[in-house]
Structure formats: C-alpha cells, structure tokens
Amino acid sequence: MKRCLIAAFAMALVSTPASAELIRSDLPLWGHGDAPETTWPQHFTSADGGFGCASKLRFGDWRLVTRGPDDAREFVEWMRIHNYGVFHCAAGFRRANGRAGLPDATPAFGYLVDLGPAPSGRETLHALQIGMAGGSEYVLLAAESVGADDGPRAYRVLAADCPAGARRKGRRIDIFSTSYCAPKDRRMVIAMARRAAAKPSVTRLEYAGDFEPPDPG
C-alpha cells in the first residue's frame, strides 16, 4: 500500500472511454466514512504519530488503450492520477490526448472505489468515481487479484449495460449524443460491474510510469 507522509507528495472532468457506457450520477455515491472503508486514497495514522493518505491506486501516468476488433488499430488517451494532499485525501484525475498535455489539463477529484470480487473469483472489481460538486462520473474496472501493496498496473475497462429505467435519454445535438446512464444507487453500480465483468473488454487502463515530466504539485 503506497503511503504519502506529511513530508511530501506530488500533487478535467474525465469522460468514459468510447467503448464503454457513459455512467454518471448527479451526486457522488461513495465517500469517506463508510464501514468498511472502500474509497482510496484514505486517511491513515501510525503508532509513531505519522499520518497522511494511503492508496490502493498507483499514482502516475496511465494509458487508456482501446483496440479495434482485429487488434491492428488502437486509440490511446492519457490519464494522470495524483494525490491531492496529505490532509484531505482524494485523487486528482487529468486527461489529455497525449502525455505532454497532462500537466496543463484541469484536474477533477475523486476516488478509486472497491466493488468486491468478480463472479469468476479471478478478478476484483473497482470504479473510478470522478467529480465532486455537480455529480460524479464512473469508469468501471476489473483487475486480476494480486497481492502487491501498491496496486495493479493494468485494469480492464468494463463496457456495462445500463439497467432499464436508468438511462437519461436526451436529444441528439448535431453528431453529439446527450444520453447517459444514471444509476440510482451503489447497488446498481455494483450489479452493472458484476454483469459486465463476464464480457470481453476492448479498452484497458495501463500504468505507464511515474509523472513525465514531473508533476508540479
């Protein structure tokens, strides 16, 4: 588990990959204070008086890679995930078409949420909850169960089906769709992830390494 002590820690609204359902709630569904705690980063204190934020989510630069049906083509986007601070634990998410654009991208803040094991038992399910005031967006993920303290280096991005009655259907504006999936509660999000985990994924979230260039925060 990565720990960010008071000494230091490097500090856009992220849209769902094109291959997945756009999932959004008008208020965040998860936050600190749940028992057991399921959101990361989260606060910790140690016996020697240290404190800060612990995270199951690796901080650094990530690639969102969507591959075509023949694996000959791929579409790549970049995401920078960084820690907000040591007093108020949250992750910052920056998104850009290229890695060089990440330092200047506006961050949106949120968490990695544990959703429990996949039905197969071979993966663990998670969601990126991105956004605070004004609502949150959700990217559903699956990772092979691993024992590493600093978290997985890759996730499958799950293409979830929206439950009946949860779709917000807006009119199309030119070529742009305004519809999205609006789950009413946590149980619906977890059920969506569990069903989607049984299907193949065309998008992966892959760790690319530490911040490059170094994050200025």
* Whole-number pLDDT of residue 18: 41
* Whole-number pLDDT of residue 33: 75
DSSP 8-45: ------PPPPTTS--EEESS-S--TT-SS--EESEEEE
* Whole-number pLDDT of residue 87: 80
Listed in sequence order, the residues at least 6 apart from 6 whose beta carbon sits closer than 8 Å to its beta carbon are 50, 51, 52, 86
* Whole-number pLDDT of residue 44: 76
* Whole-number pLDDT of residue 110: 96
78 sits in which H/E element: strand 74-83
* Whole-number pLDDT of residue 213: 75
Q: Which of 87, 100, 103 is nearest to 43 (CA)?
A: 87
Give the whole-angstrom CA distance, residue 152 versus residue 114: 13
Give the whole-angstrom CA distance, residue 91 versus residue 108: 8
* Whole-number pLDDT of residue 216: 53
Q: Which of 72, 214, 213, 62 is nearest to 151 (CA)?
A: 62
**Mean pLDDT for back-to-back runs of 10 residues, the chain (217 residues):** 38 42 93 81 78 84 85 83 86 95 95 95 96 95 74 92 91 87 96 96 93 69
* Whole-number pLDDT of residue 35: 66
* Whole-number pLDDT of residue 115: 96
Tokens of 114: 């544990």
Listed in sequence order, the residues at least 6 apart from 155 whose beta carbon sits closer than 8 Å to its beta carbon are 126, 141, 142, 143, 204, 205
Tokens of 208: 């690319």
